[in-house]
Amino acid sequence: MADAVEAPPAPSLFERLSAGEAAPIAAEPVTIVIFGGAGDLAHRKLLPALYNLSLDGLLPPRTAIVGVGRKAMSDDEYRAFAKEGTAQFSRRPIDESAWPAFASSLFFVNASIDQAQGLGPLGARLDIVEHERGLPGNRIYYMAVPPSLFVPTVQQLQRARFVPPRDAATPAARPFARLIVEKPIGHDLDSAREIDDSIAEVFNEHQIYRIDHYLGKETVQNILVLRFANSIFEPLFNQKYVDHVQITVAESEGVGTRAGYYEQAGALRDMVQNHMLQLLSMIAMDPPHSLDADVVRDEKLEVLRSLRPIVGEEVDRRVVRAQYVAGFDMGKPVPGYREEPGVSPQSRTETYVAIQISIDNWRWAGIPFFLRTGKRLPKRASEISVHLKEVPPILFNADRARPLDPNVLSIRIQPDEGFALGISSKVPGPRVNIYPVKMDFHYGATFGASSPEAYERLLLDVMAGDATLFMRRDAVEAAWRFVMPILDRWRAQKDAPLPTYRAGEWGPAEADRLIEATGRQWRPL
């Protein structure tokens, strides 16, 4: 790589957007190298996302996108592969007049990560492509390979001298080398640390972008805007006014073709350790003093550090795990988890988790946060709902046989992105009949155009050098520290009965009992 040159530090994306910039533009020309460029993630998400960025004029000029894999594929074959994936999975159809320009930025290199000189052909090809396109050598390395190859890939990058020495790689140094790491990072705290340690031998933390695609969703980004750009919510977001918070991530699909991964993971690792704890930290964090990436991430980390550990027998009281058995999906019979292809008939992998979490800080002391996630639930829906306290049992709420519905702020993350506020209102007429009505905001109806996909936003942020929406090492490890005692307890209870729920139902009766024991109920979705 060329010698590092200092460039002025760029303002963070949030700073630029809040200063009124209409759309983030990552101006610096870059080469994006996708290890696993012909894999499923690249096909369904990354290449369609890059195409949409190019269509919007958001890719820096002369950008090169280089897929890497063991398959022998020509550039033309790779372009056809990208076109097919884009046609099938892009949020917008292919514009035949714009496609050729995008296609000409795609290249494929046949190289193997697990061979000693594996990246030799890649280096030679990158030099040619960058020379021909007048690219300065800024590189983004995307690890869309199986997690077992994260460390070997980074070691190969170092061996092939693709990455500047760590002390020269300051945030302002050019050309830059950045690394995108997919999930899952480890399967427990120790393995996550091992991966992080190995990556840290080659890349500084500011060069590492750990993807949690949930954080790229418009509605998740809007949590901060909703909370800190409006004066009506933030004063209420504390133990004085909030009764409890629910976070639901429901999937209607079963395990599908992912049994190999899921059997080792389960719902706690797959959903709670990353996406759900990230959502929890965004809804519960204190206002950051600036929108700088690390200031925002410091505040989120504080939440994770304030989670009350759930340890030993407490796990049995606060956490429910379950597995789906045969049932129905939209009236169609579907098999149980243990009958799915690739799943052991004796599998004890949980496909559902519900947890009651306490946050031991001044803001949230005594307020329960209920998290639930599962596969084969009645519908696909992700939502955070903030349930405010009841009004006093006088005036309109005096009839204890028919208490008023408390106000609920619900943030729909997917589908039908938006948020709603439940409010009690008088039904028109001579009598005082009170009915819960909803003030409801739908992104689609208000802003029309389809929102960018999470991967579009996240790729753009990496190009812009903005890490706000990426997970920092300390947060990943704090999240693992929280889930480890739960995994330990389950591991020690090999013979304990595993609750079940029928596919197409809202989880096991044990999860209802968990929340009902506190006098509350799961919010119907």
Ligand X SMILES: NC(=O)c1ccc[n+]([C@@H]2O[C@H](COP(=O)([O-])OP(=O)(O)OC[C@H]3O[C@@H](n4cnc5c(N)ncnc54)[C@H](OP(=O)(O)O)[C@@H]3O)[C@@H](O)[C@H]2O)c1
Q: Which residues bind ligand X (CB under 6 A)?
A: 35-36, 38-41, 69-71, 112-114, 144-147, 149, 182-183
- Residue ranges of alpha helices (H) inside 90-175 are 99-103, 120-133, 150-159
76-to-79, 80, 83, 105, 130 alpha-carbon distances in Å:
5, 6, 10, 11, 18
The active-site residue out of 43, 275, 289, 442 is 275
CA-CA distance, 411 to 418, in Å (whole number)? 6
3-state DSSP assignment of residue 71: coil
Give the relative orientation of helices 293-306 and 473-492 as an angle to the nearest 10 degrees: 20
Task: Give the CB-nearest residue to ligand X.
Answer: 39
3-state DSSP assignment of residue 295: helix
CA-CA distance, 266 to 498, in Å (whole number)? 13
> 149 vs 236, which CB is nearer to ligand X?
149
> 123 vs 309, which CB is nearer to ligand X?
123
Q: Yes or no: say if 141 and 182 are a contact pair by the CB < 8 Å rule.
A: no
- Residue 384 CA to chain centroid, in angstroms? 14
> 112 vs 239, which CB is nearer to ligand X?
112
Long-range CB contact pairs, 505-509, < 8 A, 24+:
505/327, 505/377, 505/378, 506/377, 506/378, 507/320, 507/322, 507/352, 507/354, 507/372, 507/374, 507/377, 508/320, 508/322, 508/352
Q: Yes or no: say if 101 and 138 are a contact pair by the CB < 8 Å rule.
A: no
What number of other Cβ atoms are within 10 A of residue 344's Cβ?
11
What number of other Cβ atoms are within 10 A of residue 353's Cβ?
26
> 41 vs 268, which CB is nearer to ligand X?
41
Q: Give the E-state strand segments of 389-505 in sequence order.
A: 408-414, 418-426, 434-442, 500-502
Q: Output the CA torsion sign for 130, 88, 269, 114.
A: negative
State the Cα torsion 218-220-221-225 to the nearest 10°. Answer: 110
For residue 187, indicate whether it is catalytic.
Answer: no
Q: Output the CA torsion sign for 83, 89, 92, 93.
A: positive
Q: In sequence order, what DSSP letters do the residues of 158-227 get, joined into one string?
A: HHTT-S--GGG--TTEES-EEEEEPSP--SSHHHHHHHHHHHHTTS-GGGEEE--GGGGSHHHHHHHHHH
CA-CA distance, 378 to 4, in Å (whole number)? 54
> 38 vs 283, which CB is nearer to ligand X?
38
What number of other Cβ atoms are within 10 A of residue 200's Cβ?
16
Question: Least separation, in Å, of the C-beta of 146 and ligand X?
Answer: 5
- Catalytically active residues are 275
